[in-house]
Structure 1
Amino acid sequence: MDLSQSALISQCEDDYSLTHEQFDDVVPLEMDPQNAGNETVADVELTESVDNCSTEFKLIDEVENVKEPKEAMIFSSIEELSNYYRSYAKQEGFDVVRKKQKKNESGYAHYISLGCSRQGSRKSSSSNSFCKPSQTIRTGCKATLNAKLVGTKWYVTSVSTDHNHGLSPGKARYFKCQKNLDSVSKRKLEINDRAEISTNKIYNSLAVEAGGCESLAFGEKDCSNFIAKSIHLRLGTGGAAALCDYFSRMQKVNDDFYFEMDLDDECRLRNVFWADARSRASYEDFGDVVAFDTTYLTNRYEMPFALFVGVNHHGQSILFSAALISSEDTATFVWLFEALLKCMNGRSPKTIITDQDVAMKSAINKVFSNAQHRFCLWHILKKLPEKFGSHSQYNAIKSALRSCVYDSQTCDEFDASWKSLVECFNLEDNAWLHGLYSERTFWVPAYLKGVFCAGMTTTQQSEEMNTFFYGYVHSSTTLKEFVDQYDNALRKKVENENVADFDSFNATVSCVSRFSFEKQFQELYTNEKLKEVQEEIREVLYCSRSLLKSEGGISTYQVTERVEINGAYMKKVCFTVYCNEPSCEVNCSCCRFESRGILCRHAISVLVTLDDVTLLPKKYFLNRWRKDLKRPYKLIKSSYDPLSGNPSAERYSDLCKDMFALAAIAAPTVDHYTEVKSHVYMLTKKLSGLSCEQSPHS
């Protein structure tokens, strides 16, 4: 090397000296099972040469007498440098990580620092390291190689070969930087996994073929990680064709059928989402509250079947959309929720109910940031036998916990009751209870008062939907069979809704009281919802009220309800009801109306004492429970509800075709567009006025 080169390298050392105390950006030079060929996590960036040519890195399996690294060594590429240092590490018996890398404005690497993986010191993340000590490989090792790009060559600027720990060449194949899951092995893993062969058997087969485990550049855990990360939809024989045929058939019935597919880098199907036109339209009426759940019922491969479900005006479950997904992680749920948003024209649910799942919670926080997320209470409480079934005081704990959840009227009451529960049964160290309490704002009724859930306090509606599908498919159903049965299942659901519509139109449920406002509910609400109102009216019998104060037209009452507990005794529970007598408005501390949309017994017990109360304000009659409204989704033709013989639906479909044709003509020019908009507005206004004068059932 001449003097000019030596001076240049010296200057590089001064400009790019590495601070060894900084280890936040350390990246292990390990093989990533998801990357093609033999590339590593670090080498995704490290294999970039100055001419922006990315080459595949290949490990040297058998290396003899690799020279010790020294300053001023020259390499033609960053790949060659990394290859050399890993080969040296294999010979000596230590693991390698990328400590640092710098790029220029064009995005090309021009400085790199490689070192021993045992550098730095571990910072414990555990608050209780005495009871739960964690292991670490960090010893503060200073072994390092720094290199700088000069022109088209890489020059080693500084080297340290001193290790403060033992070296073991014989164990080098276990180090992450030496792991190499080649493309041939990946293919064999996928094929055998599809044949439902266990991972350990697949690995043993590869080991026998290679002449022993020591001849493989990867371990059984690497195989498991690769299989877990390469999950995609396994549709079975004819499944993909059946799914495509189904989507094509749906779009022929109605252009508003929506579907979206998620493909991986190798164009394999990972997830698929769909919603028919009728379901999309029903979301406009009932999509404010959505229950989301996944189940396994579609085929022998046990692909998660995801459902978005709501409740209609009869309180029946109604399907908004469905999906087949390959895994249940945050990334998958984010894709799924974003697909729902696009499908529903960007309208997010106001409340979404799910299982207590970390991945779902994270995805909802990202996609539905303005929605109220609540956990399914049923899913939480059903875990009690699993968590405390072996406890000597299981029944007492179960009773105390349920009382704590259901009997607490305020957040402070719940907190005090929970503390008493934990202390009484010495459950301070119970991790499950601790986790529940930390997330109490997602599931405790006292913390969720006033949040409208349409009566869906649990994912019971989606559970009912799953049960409904069980009548048409079973655990061994292929996807081809499933899509054939899917329409049959939804057709039955629509028929149930049509029957309930007819019952509410044709038959009248008798009033249970002489209150005039009950007749209002009788005229407007569906029969099922009227029955819920009547149940509240009956319970007024067990409520007593007393006036606490009256100030500025607002009267405050205390309503005491006698509640039956297991048929054994009556417990008194007090509620506060605020009443504005001139406007006939009431507000109860139980917040039943705010959360369920049904006026509570406590408020009714106050209303019936007021003078001149004949009719209730419109605010107490929710549109979502009314039977007299014309709901547009009922006029939309679908594959499972062709609406044959329905004159209104046929006229609706015919008008839609004409309006599409008119829109195509008017859209190209501003004048035509403005003229059509004006005529449509005036016609809509005129016809709306006529419809208001017609009978609700005409």
Structure 2
Amino acid sequence: MIEEPRTGMEFNSLEELNSYYKLYAKRCGFGSMTQRSERDDKGSVRYVTLGCARGGKARNKTTNMGKPRPTAKTDCKARINALKVDEKMKLTTVNNTHNHGLSPQKSRFFRCNREVSEAVKRVLDTNDLAGIRMNKSFGSLVVGAGGFENLPFSEKDCRNYIDKARHLRLGSGGAGALRDYFSRMQYKNPGFFYLMDLDDDGRLRNVFWADPRSRAAYQDFGDVVTFDTTYLTNRYGMPFAPFVGVNHHGQSILLGAGLISSEDTDTFIWLFQTWLQCMDGLAPPAIITDQDRAMKNAIAVVFPKTRHRFCLWHILKKVPEKLGSHRAYKSGLKSQLMKCVYDTQNIEEFEKSWEQLISKYTLQENGRLQSLYSERTYWVPVFLKECFWARMSTTQRSESMNAFFDGYVHAKTNLKEFVDQYDNALRKKIENEISADFHSFSVTIPCISRSPIEKRFQELYTNAKFREVQQQVMGVLDMDPYLLRRDGVKKTYLVEDEVRVEEFCKNITYYVDFNEENCEVKCSCGLFQMRGILCRHVLSIFKCNGIKSLPARYILDRWRKDIKRRYTLIHSTYDSGHQREDTNRYSTLLNICYQMITRAAGSKEHTEDATKKLNAMIELYGYNQEPPSMTKIGEETTIVGSSKQVLSPQVVRGKGRPPSLRRASRMEQHIRKGKAKTKKANLLGKRKEVLFGLDGSQPVLEGLDGSEVQK
């Protein structure tokens, strides 16, 4: 119980007086404030009046008389006056009578009783840098404190602090802060690459950047790249344009990114040329994009020798929109179109099947199908079998990069905040890769057969890729190759494969050419050419010909776990400019304190003893020490580069892009529901191969080339 103020009480300092009256007010149920103070010639306070926070009269400054501002003022006269006498503050007059009700349980809501401690600030800073939303951060603080009533601050106080912290950390957060960030990264590591495209007024138009690790990783995994721009990122509406590849675990890997102001041919040419310059002029052998005319034109200019593929999923999802009104769409047109796309094994079969489709349903004048046919080499699987795609047939990996930003990046996110979040994505991807490397070396997946070929893949390939090999090894049991013809050392086999969708089966016949002399083999399914994994049809031919030793040509270095790749030795350039040198010391002390608290909290005596000693240590080290913060920039973060001012970009609208986050179409929503149902079915013992149809109705199954096969 705290003593009530009375005339004649003395305090050693003004701080002690303030602390006493603030605590007294909180216990009684009101807020305190300094109503008046006077200073002497030396600048120290000689007289002070502390009173109730509801003292004084309301001052309504609003011009809208019909909507006056709410006020808490009641002209309460409760107050104390203190005069400095002999270096002590002495109470001269005291009034403890209030003209309003008091509520000790609700006094925590007064401004004077709300304070965000340094420890909480650090937690908020850390969570903000990690992309954790404020409602999640505040919720964890509430749980840790045992309830809202035990927190001396509100969620709004936390949001206000983070807003100020971001301003200190990011400055304006626009193009100027972005340039400073890039300059700092390049100063730390010359391998960091960035280029900013400005208009005639010095305003940012486009920007591209890539860290040293991504540039080095491109040397190993730049054989196929996906590129996509279907995401609204920030307050300027600049589309995010990531270049994404696949590493030896089949994981997505970032190979650079851009923010662009428009999606026309000239902009894409600038972005692709910049990326090519970043990658030392080495163009990717294959690239996957959406069916976008501007992208297609730009790729033809910048990457003339690169095999360009359209995202198959995006093309086929538009089919119901363009052909759904046809009277025969559901009665046969859709099924025959899918068979034409998926079931044909060579170009001649496709051309014949397409001609039959057009003729049967009199679609000669259909503009959509004419357009698709004219660009058939960009999306029909049969035209793409001779190129390596690393199990990618869509831009889904680029969109998975976009999904990483969901929940944090929004329409008000500035450029610097977005790039910070990109760094978080980079960290996460690197950590996932390191974890997968560890498990591939320390965890062995048992073989499911006695085949020495499977054993060889077990020794060389990462666990993720060995799992894919095992899927094919398991399918060998159902294969019964038939020798169609023989020409010297060359054989041609027919292999009939049964593909199952729940209770339905579909038989597909594949052709396998085998050379006995050099063990060269090629299957019409194209799995090895497209994915780099030997198909079950080829493995069955090896088995029936007694091949025990795996030919070296069928072991791809890009899937191996025993190769030390140069990019893994390069540390990614993270922006540590917002961290001070004493941050590590802070973390060290905090860990020690946690250990002490865990042990001391076990008994009341230990808790009281630890509290006394900690308070003594606080007195020993003083209050004038500035606590470490993650929102200030240390001296080591010297900014280098051009001093020319860079203006933030103007707000733009992309092609067909709504003014918010990328919105899923009704088709995508149906497919997501289908995937959820499929997952539930798998838990009930259904086969995992089941996907759902492109229009959400008819099931499809996964083909050997990574695309979907219509039933």
Question: Normalised by the shorter chain, which TM-score bucket?
Answer: 0.5 to 0.7
Instruction: Give the CA deviation at 1:575.
Output: 1.5
Query: 1:413 is aligned with what amino acid?
Result: E
Q: Which residues of 2 match residues 657-696 of structure 1 at below 5 A?
A: none
Structure 2: distance between partners of 1:263 and 1:641? 24
Instruction: Give the CA deviation at 1:348.
Output: 0.4
Change (3 A) 1:242 1:402: farther
Which of 163, 178, 187 is matched with 1:252 structurally?
A: 187
Contact kept, 8 Å, 1:246 with 1:483, in 2: the verdict is no
Report what 1:448 is aligned to.
Answer: 384
Query: 1:307 is aligned with what amino acid?
Result: P
Q: Is 1:636 equivalent to 2:570 in the alignment?
A: yes
Instruction: Give the CA deviation at 1:531.
Output: 0.7
Contact kept, 8 Å, 2:175 with 2:204, in 1: the verdict is no
The Cα offsets for residues 326-384 of structure 1, whole Å up to 9 and x where unpaired, read as: 11111111111111111001100000111111111111111100111111111111112
Report what 1:385 is aligned to.
Answer: 320
Which of 438, 462, 465 is matched with 1:502 structurally?
A: 438
Contact kept, 8 Å, 1:242 with 1:483, in 2: the verdict is no
Q: Which residues of 2 match residues 15-164 of structure 1 at below 5 A?
A: none
Contact kept, 8 Å, 2:185 with 2:574, in 1: the verdict is no
Query: 1:415 is aligned with what amino acid?
Result: E
Query: 2:204 is aligned with what amino acid?
Result: L
Overall identity of the aligned pairs, in %: 60
Which of 509, 517, 524 is matched with 2:460 structurally?
A: 524
RCO greater where, 1 or 2, for CA within 8 Å and sep 6 or more?
2
Contact kept, 8 Å, 1:354 with 1:376, in 2: the verdict is yes
Q: Which residues of 2 match residues 621-632 of structure 1 at below 5 A?
A: 621-632=555-566
Report what 2:206 is aligned to.
Answer: 271
Instruction: Give the CA deviation at 1:428.
Output: 2.3
Contact kept, 8 Å, 1:517 with 1:614, in 2: the verdict is yes
Give the number of equivalent residue pairs. Answer: 406
Which of 324, 330, 335 is matched with 1:399 structurally?
A: 335
Report what 1:33 is aligned to.
Answer: none
Report what 1:595 is aligned to.
Answer: 530
Instruction: Give the CA deviation at 1:520.
Output: 0.6
Contact kept, 8 Å, 2:197 with 2:207, in 1: the verdict is yes
Instruction: Give the CA deviation at 1:471.
Output: 5.1
Which of 405, 418, 427 is matched with 1:491 structurally?
A: 427
Instruction: Give the CA deviation at 1:480.
Output: 2.9
Instruction: Give the CA deviation at 1:293.
Output: 0.8
Instruction: Give the CA deviation at 1:588.
Output: 1.2
| 311-320 or 585-594, which deviates more | 585-594
Structure 1: distance between partners of 2:366 and 2:257? 37
Contact kept, 8 Å, 1:353 with 1:374, in 2: the verdict is yes
Report what 2:248 is aligned to.
Answer: 313
Instruction: Give the CA deviation at 1:472.
Output: 4.0
Instruction: Give the CA deviation at 1:237.
Output: 4.9
Structure 1: distance between partners of 2:334 and 2:541? 35
Contact kept, 8 Å, 1:491 with 1:641, in 2: the verdict is no
Contact kept, 8 Å, 2:185 with 2:575, in 1: the verdict is no
| DSSP 3-state at the match of 1:531 | helix
Instruction: Give the CA deviation at 1:640.
Output: 4.1
Query: 1:315 is aligned with what amino acid?
Result: G
Q: Which residues of 2 match residues 598-613 of structure 1 at below 5 A?
A: 598-611=533-546, 613=547
Contact kept, 8 Å, 1:253 with 1:638, in 2: the verdict is no
Q: Which residues of 2 match residues 342-421 of structure 1 at below 5 A?
A: 342-395=277-330, 396-421=332-357
| DSSP 3-state at the match of 1:295 | coil
Report what 2:22 is aligned to.
Answer: none
Instruction: Give the CA deviation at 1:442.
Output: 0.8
Aligned-residue Cα RMSD (Å) equals: 2.0
Q: Which residues of 2 match residues 112-261 of structure 1 at below 5 A?
A: 237-261=172-196
Instruction: Give the CA deviation at 1:268.
Output: 2.3
Structure 2: distance between partners of 1:307 and 1:398? 34
Instruction: Give the CA deviation at 1:593.
Output: 0.8
Q: Which residues of 2 match residues 572-587 of structure 1 at below 5 A?
A: 572-587=507-522
Which of 232, 251, 274 is matched with 1:339 structurally?
A: 274
Structure 2: distance between partners of 1:347 and 1:394? 45
| DSSP 3-state at the match of 2:506 | strand
Which of 227, 250, 257 is matched with 1:292 structurally?
A: 227
Contact kept, 8 Å, 1:331 with 1:363, in 2: the verdict is yes
Query: 1:637 is aligned with what amino acid?
Result: H
| 515-524 or 631-640, which deviates more | 631-640
Query: 1:250 is aligned with what amino acid?
Result: M
| 359-368 or 410-419, which deviates more | 410-419
Q: Is 1:429 equivalent to 2:365 in the alignment?
A: yes
Report what 1:534 is aligned to.
Answer: 470
Change (3 A) 1:238 1:469: closer
Instruction: Give the CA deviation at 1:399.
Output: 2.7
Instruction: Give the CA deviation at 1:397.
Output: 3.3
Query: 1:460 is aligned with what amino acid?
Result: Q
Q: Is 1:554 equivalent to 2:486 in the alignment?
A: no
| DSSP 3-state at the match of 2:299 | helix
| DSSP 3-state at the match of 2:496 | strand
Query: 1:459 is aligned with what amino acid?
Result: T
Contact kept, 8 Å, 2:391 with 2:530, in 1: the verdict is yes
Unaligned runs of 5+ in 1: 1-234, 643-698
